[in-house]
Amino acid sequence: MVRRPAQPAARTLVAALDVGSSKVCALIAEPGPDGRLKILGTGQRESRGVKRGFIADMEKSEIAIRESMEQAERIAGTQVDQVFIGFSAGGMVSDMVDVEVGIGGGRIQDEDIDALLAKGWSSIEREGRQLLHALPAFYTIDEVNGVKQPRGLHAEKLAVNIHVITADPAPWKNLNLCVRSAHLGVEATVASPVAAGKACLSEEERELGVALVELGGGVTNVSVFAGGMLVGLKSLAIGGGDITDDIAAAFGTRRIEAERIKCFYGSAMTSPRDNHDMIELAPIAGGQEGVEASRITRAQLVAVIRQRLEHLTAQVEEALKQMGFGGAIGRQIVLTGGGAELKGIADYAQGVLGRTVRIGRPGMPGLPEAHSGPAFSTLAGLALFAASGEIDLRVGFGPKDSGEKPSGNWLQRLIAAFRTQY
């Protein structure tokens, strides 16, 4: 008989890896007896081989992955073989599968739940897509919805809602190949909105209805939660890196300089002093004889930022409309991701979208200050997801993300690191 997935054994360590368009970051944590995570080490490197969430340069991505994990391992004083990785691109689609079985008025046994979950697994249509998640959300007993643990209760019918997330297979395969090339095994691939939602949304927000907007470097993921689960998501090919590029193009400066002035002086909101505050920035040809630093007003900088934000918020609004985010559940939006660190962006979005907006930061005690901002919500959420032991039907009924186990791990990464130096 097909058995539902058993509860995983207690983990001694969890390792998370977030491969984004602007940065690659890693985290190693130890679950405590109270279920809370103790952060042992973190690592971060600039992402040079990822474009719009897609792997564009295998070698550069592999180096960044390996170095960020090695940094986390050095701080933690340990090595890891398996990681949970975040996935933020590749046409992710969220859907619900509803199945039921007859109980005939008897008490619900393990065998009944087994049969229900097996039926749910066989009902999932993949159509050539990669299955990221098949999460049993809530059970229904006769007419009673939202039952979390039906075992032992009497019922005529038992049903379950299974939350399914699929993605285009090629980007998923490329990401997994990159991680394995860094001599790490992939324990699970987690959709970025699932991870970020776990890190910065409260259980009550997910129940009542909330939209989560992750402003990444090259991708913005818009997801809607209701009834305690993710019910819709859309990926937009726009992010904070586009604002940086706009600044660099508008004022003839390098991207690194554009990013600096965006972080230090940029804002989504205007102020009376903007026309008086001057900003000095180095031109692209800075350092050459006869080329001097230029000066712009803060008002000019804010104007460029707001022009791109108008385009971004229009796309977010359209995505929310397509997902039916309105009425009673459409009143709150949470902004997270690196782009949410822009000054005044919550007030700007609230004014444009006409909804309550707050900034979502990872709710994980013990995170280093450098990794406690909204840019690290997905990373923290991956660790929380790994430690939660949530039942995923793929674990019991389907193949794992990767059939290959890493061999050598830290020794192979040490040899690879040595070779890249020479």
From CA 117, how far away is CA 137, in angstroms rounded? 11
Per the CB < 8 A criterion, the answer to whether 108 and 150 are in contact is yes
Neighbours of 318 (CB within 10 A): 13
What is the pLDDT of the chain when averaged over all its residues?
A: 87
Q: In degrees to the nearest 10, what's the CA dihedral of 66, 70, 76, 82?
A: 30
State the pLDDT at residue 1. Answer: 41
Band of residue 73 on the pLDDT scale cut at 50, 70, 90: very high
Give Cβ neighbours of residue 48 (< 8 Å, ≥ 6 apart).
57, 60, 61, 64
Q: Is the pLDDT of residue 190 over 90?
A: yes
Tokens of 248: 């660099």
Q: Tokens 């000054």 appear where?
A: 343
One-letter amino acid for residue 387 of the chain: A
Q: Please count the residues of the chain.
A: 422
State the pLDDT at residue 286. Answer: 56
Higher pLDDT: 140 or 292? It is 140
Q: Is the pLDDT of residue 415 over 70?
A: no
Q: Is the pLDDT of residue 289 over 60?
A: no
What average pLDDT does the segment 24-46 reach?
A: 91
Beta strand residue intervals within 142-263, DSSP E: 144-147, 157-167, 185-191, 210-215, 220-226, 229-236
* Side-chain-facing half-sphere of 114: CA atoms under 13 Å: 9
What average pLDDT does the segment 261-270 reach?
A: 96
Band of residue 9 on the pLDDT scale cut at 50, 70, 90: low
Tell how strand 332-336 and strand 356-359 pair up.
parallel
DSSP 8-state code for residue 287: T
238 CB-contact burial (10 Å; exposed 0-12 / middle 13-18 / buried 19+)? buried
Q: Is the pLDDT of residue 404 over 70?
A: no
Q: Tokens 């919550």 appear where?
A: 346
What average pLDDT does the segment 139-156 reach?
A: 88
- Of 49-53, 279-283, 309-313, 414-418, the least confident: 414-418
Pick from 110-114, 161-165, 237-241, 287-291 the range whose average pLDDT is largest. Answer: 237-241
DSSP 8-state code for residue 398: S
Over pLDDT 70: what percentage of the chain? Answer: 89
State the pLDDT at residue 365. Answer: 82
State the pLDDT at residue 421. Answer: 43
- Of 24-28, 130-134, 291-295, the least confident: 291-295
From CA 22, how far away is CA 214, in angstroms rounded? 14
State the pLDDT at residue 335. Answer: 98
pTM of the model: 0.87
DSSP 8-state code for residue 163: E
Q: Is the pLDDT of residue 35 over 80?
A: no
Band of residue 291 on the pLDDT scale cut at 50, 70, 90: low
C-alpha distances in Å from residue 347, one per residue of 12, 241, 266, 406: 42, 21, 14, 47
Band of residue 406 on the pLDDT scale cut at 50, 70, 90: very low
pLDDT in tens, 104-140: 999 999 899 989 988 988 888 878 899 999 888 788 9
Q: Tokens 């660190």 appear where?
A: 341
Beta strand residue intervals within 267-364, DSSP E: 278-281, 294-297, 332-336, 356-359
Higher pLDDT: 27 or 128? It is 27
